[in-house]
Structure 1
Amino acid sequence: MISVHHLSKSYPVAVKSPGLKGTLAHFLHRTYREVKAVQDVSFTIQAGEVVGFLGPNGAGKTTTLKMLTGLIHPSAGKVRVAGFDPFRRQPAFLEKMSLVMGQKQQLIWDLPTLDSLRINAAIYKISDETFQQRLGELSEMLALNQQLKQPVRKLSLGERMKAELLAALLHHPQVLFLDEPTLGLDVNAQVAVRDFLREYNQRYQATILLTSHYMADITALCERVLLIHQGQLMYDGDLEQLVERYAPFREVQVELAQPWPAEKLQHYGEIESINGQEVRFLVPQENLTGAIAQILAQLDVLDLSVNDPPIEDVIGRLFQAGVVANIKD
């Protein structure tokens, strides 16, 4: 459904020195530097897959999505989405895909959501009968009923995001690109959006490429992830395998009989947090048995548990430690 081969995107960015002299030089003779936003990225996604697209800010995620949807043209490489070249933006292609960006909106602010949906239906030439059928189906899945008759500006952030999804899916796209769809939503709204996307994928076998800084979105919806760093694709595979392979530590949570100062605890492992009598350590796997034995022998322990660290911690550490640079190998 999605095929990407050696995709690259570079931008010329003007360089300006500070001060009046720099301004005059910039006006008379500009110099540029090249910014490589995406570099030689290749991957394929099969129909019906839900794939997470991970990376820090500025890694190239949104630039890649914009090339996949035809909003910007690649500097090099080839892209096929649902059998089409996205940049040609043929009507048949636009009917098969949709892009939802958490920080952008397509609904008209002062009109009821229902009016914006009718405009979308007209754009996609959806008949009144089909419109009513899809509206009822999607609004039920999203738990949106009376809200559709309210002006968009009167909706809560969670309700607005649901309405944006409804508008994006009214024409039943085969491919859905989601860029931070739960950005800024509270926990309940995030769960509702995830549940809807899971049901939509299962019901219609839609292909979904999802970027999110909320790892709960990724773990709830995606078995496979693409990991991008500094414009380069560093990992393409199973999320659990990534964590197992690149999480060389375990989380040890300890409840002590009394609080201890941090300086007396730090040799048991890396202290992630101290909350009164509860201490959370990160301990390398090869030191785990010895560290637990020391903790039990030297501290007055009420409770102890060993868990895998949160996935967001693992991914964050991969980038911070530079381990990500070696994943591709």
Structure 2
Amino acid sequence: MNNDFKDRLKEESKNDMPDLWDKIECRLEDKYEIQRISGTRQENKRNRNIIIVASFISLLVVSMVIKNFINSNVEMVENSTLQQESNEEKNESLAEDNSENTSESNQVDEFALDDNIGESELLEDLNLQKFLEDKIIVSIGDQNSYAADPNSIDYLGISENIVYGKVTSVKSYVKFGSMIYSDMTIEVIEDYKGDFKGGDTFIMGSHGGEMTYDEYISQIDPMRVEKFGYDKVEDKSKKFIDLRDGIPMYREGEYVLVYVSSLDNNEYYKEHPELRQKESYDYGVYKTLYVNPNTREVFKYEYKPNNTLEKIKVGTLDDIENIDLSIDLY
């Protein structure tokens, strides 16, 4: 009730009921207070209900987020497990395929080299001046040939085996009183002519090699030590080297192409079997070349007038019949 209406009602009733209005007003004020308190309580109750509902909604939202997160992680784990199982199945399948391919391939493929041999695994090209540095030279000659015209030799025809392989060891020793020979173990990678298989090894003998001072002095004819002044050499760390039949002289770790024949089939040794028993190698060499295993290119070394070597490409392993085996003569 507004104040204007209360004042008017009080004014009109004060003569007849002077005390009635005070009672009415008092009761009205008590009623308004009760209503106010009740309204406040209802407001508080409504706010409390809103808070409860909001809390419930918040809990519901949080629970849904947690549930989604858990489901997401479970799904990721399941996917990862499935992916891992799939990869394992693929690897097993590849392993089976590789196993089948390996069993179907021949021995040459089994021991064939791939195209990623590191440069650090390959030996440096031969440099004659560097090669002879700090060496005591026993002999140095021209190209290895006993024919009047070495370019007339049919190396393809006279060789029992034409082998691409790797030199796994070199053992040098003295023969015929002062000459250095070497036995070189070759591990076969490919045999282009003959019956070797990949992984086979054979010992090839060749004139040439190097030995330590003590090894050489202990094996040569004692008369030559004084004759050539070897006993007066001050630096005993120097090595003796014999290149009577020229370059190449293979080194351990070299990849090579060799043209060889068995001593057992050599007519000379058939006539002199006692001499065959004295030889420590099984195959004599006709021609020796170098190979780059990464490119399969074949090289040879040739002497030059200034006492140096030139490395020349002569063909590839994929075209053996057309490799240039000629010799430049000076």
Q: TM-score, normalised by structure 1?
A: 0.24
Higher relative contact order (CA 8 A, sep 6+): 1
Q: TM-score, normalised by structure 2?
A: 0.24
